[in-house]
Structure 1
């Protein structure tokens, strides 16, 4: 772990991500503008500091990516269904999250697909988790990178968003460690987001 603390590229990336995400969540009216710009900066930082890894064939990353995206959505759908069955107040928080952060204009969907989803995976899995894997075990790197991914979502003011990011981060972190393919994880994340925000939203 001492080697992680001495990794200035890693520390710099984490500090940059926290700074950018702090400003991203400050103003709802410009959220999508700042979020898009932040991910472009994080993509640039990642590409400069770390090579993007892809050890899966085209067929593999498309098929595994799509199937895993559907699987993760199914897990979230099952969790939300339990909230509804037991009439938990968390349902109201899901409604608020959709109201505040869901894409509402066509350009939101475009940047979600072309910038935000690829950017999150390139940075959090392709940079953060990959560098952690150089200093720790695979399991620990998945856990730590997921906690870090979750932590920047706390700036939203919704702990449920941070918790959702933690679960998704663990899933995508495991997927990346297994197949070592950023395109595969991007496809998984993209399918999950399209289901969650466009095709089968919970609210």
Structure 2
């Protein structure tokens, strides 16, 4: 890992903001996560001229959606594995999906698509990875989630960080990565959650009736 004081400041800010987002009142989680994205995304844009010059092409959108579909497949398998292998895997996955109840789905989708997902790519792949390397960036991305106390979420974040970091290393453009992150977030969290989560959601809806 290369020494970079700007990266060190950015990572310190990221860890502090993630702690604020995940450890506060869950009813305002999406507001705090949006603030986190706003701060980190702008930090990346302010320090990386290349990011400010990026322009989205149709190819970027196609690559982004395709890579999101592949990651969704990986996570569908990983979800089943976590439920069977990890002692608290099923409870931890349920806890992650419970955040869908903290705001209306259309509001969550808007926050994910316009601020949170783009900012994560700008910061973690566009800013951190360029300065400290892919392995360190993926480890830091997973490490920022340790504050949740949710081992499944930490593992998921690390896998996603490795995946998007590898795509960046292989030359995928930032607009394509942003498209991928937006599509994957909305897809797995709101539109097509993993099988177990979907069953739990249906059960909750039936109970509420």
CA deviations on 1:79-124 (whole Å, 9 max, x unpaired) are 2234457796412221121113666413222111100000000000
CA distance, structure 2, for counterparts of residue 197 and residue 142 of structure 1:
25
- After superposition, the C-alpha distances for 1:24-60 in whole angstroms (9 at most, x for unaligned) are 1112122111111111011111111112447897132
1:57-96 to 2 correspondence within 5 Å? 58-83=57-82, 89-96=88-95
Given the superposition, is the C-alpha separation of residues 30 and 183 from structure 1 closer, same or farther in structure 2, using an over 3 Å criterion?
A: same
> Which stretches of structure 1, 4 residues or more, deviate above 6 A after TM superposition?
54-57, 85-88
Aligned pairs (5 A) from 1:177-192: 177-192=169-184
C-alpha change, 1:88 and 1:159, in structure 2 (3 Å) is closer
Match of 1:44 in 2: 42
Give the conservation status (yes or no) of the 8 Å contact 2:64–2:176: yes
Please show how residues 1-203 of structure 1 align to structure 2 within 5 Å: 1=1, 4-5=2-3, 7-27=4-24, 28-53=26-51, 58-83=57-82, 89-100=88-99, 104-105=103-104, 106-132=106-132, 141-202=133-194, 203=197
Give the aligned partner of residue 200 of structure 2: none
Report what 2:205 is aligned to.
none
* Alpha-carbon RMSD: 2.2
State how many pairs are aligned: 192
> Residues 50 and 99 of structure 1: is their aligned pair in 2 closer, same or farther, counting only changes over 3 Å?
same
Given that residues 44 and 123 in structure 2 are in contact (C-alpha distance below 8 angstroms), is that contact kept between their aligned partners in structure 1?
A: yes
| Contact 2:19–2:147, Cα closer than 8 Å, also in 1 | yes
* Residue 136 of structure 1: aligned partner: none
CA distance in structure 1 between the partners assigned to 2:100 and 2:192 by the alignment: 16
Answer with 186-195 or 69-78: which moved more. Answer: 186-195
TM-score, normalised with respect to structure 2: 0.83
1:67 and 1:13 map into 2 onto residues whose CA distance is 30
